[in-house]
Amino acid sequence: MYDGDIASTLVTEDDIRAKTAELAVRIADDYAERCATSDLLLVGVLKGAVMFMTDLARALPLPVQLEFMAVSSYGSATSSSGVVRILKDLDRDIADRHVLIVEDIIDSGLTLSWLLKNLESRGPASLAVCTLLRKPDAVKVDVPVQYVGFDIPNEFVVGYGLDYAERYRDLPFIGTLDPAVYA
Ligand code: 5GP
Ligand code: MG
Ligand code: MG
C-alpha cells in the first residue's frame, strides 16, 4: 500500500497498541471516581483523531461517550496559524461534564489552545487533553496536556488518521513521507 511513499516508520502498530493500553489504564485510574455518576465524554477532533479516539475508547475500562468536533485553522497545509473556525460543533452541551479532548498531534499548540478556551467557556466539570503525538514546538507552548503518547521529532508524519492531502489516514502506523510526494 502506498508503495514507496513512506520514507520511514516512526511509530509501529504494536507501539500504538501498547501505548494506547497504557494511557487507558492511567485515564481510567484518574477518572474512575469522578465519573462514577456521569460518563466520561471524549471529544475527538476530526478527522485526524478518529483512529486514536476509537481505539482509546475501546481500550478504556470505563464507560465513555463520544463527541466530535471539526475545526479548520487558517494557514498552509503543513502549519497552522492559530486562527480557528468551527466546521462542525459538538452535538451536545458539555456543561458539568468531565471532558477529555482527544487529539492526533500537537505541533504549535495553537489549535489546541483555542479549543481549550472555547470548550472551557461552556462550563465543563473538568477539561483535559490526551494526544497520541507531540512535536518539540508544543513543549514550548504553555498548553496543559495531561496525556501524551509519543514525543516525536519535528517531521511531517502521516498515518493512523493523519493525512497529506487527505491520503494516508488509513495506514495502521505513523510514518514520514518521502520528499518526492510533496514535489
Ligand atoms: P497545531 O495547531 O498544534 O500547530 O496543529 C495541529 C494540527 O496540525 C493537527 O491536528 C494536524 O491536523 C496538523 N498537523 C501538525 N503536524 C502534523 C504532521 O506532522 N502531520 C500531519 N498529517 N498533520 C499535522
Ligand atoms: Mg488534530
Ligand atoms: Mg490534515
CATH number of domain containing 79: 3.40.50.2020
Q: Which residues are catalytic?
A: 107
Instruction: Please state the atom number of ligand 1 nearest to the C-alpha of residue 79.
Output: 4
pLDDT surpasses 60 at 77? no
Average pLDDT, the chain: 93
How many Å apart are CA 73 and CA 60, to the nearest integer? 30
Residues 48 and 161: beta-carbon distance below 8 Å: yes
Ligand 1 contact via 131 beta carbon (within 6 Å):
no
pLDDT in tens, 17-63: 999 999 999 999 999 999 999 999 999 999 999 999 999 999 999 99
Q: Does the Cβ of 116 fall within 6 Å of ligand 1?
A: no
Tell me, yes or no, whether 124 lies in a domain: yes
178: pLDDT strictly greater than 60: yes
How many independent structural domains does the chain possess? 1
**Cβ 113 under 6 angstroms from ligand 1:** no
**112: nearest Cα among 98, 91, 133:** 133
75 within domain boundaries: yes
Would you state the pLDDT for residue 156? 93
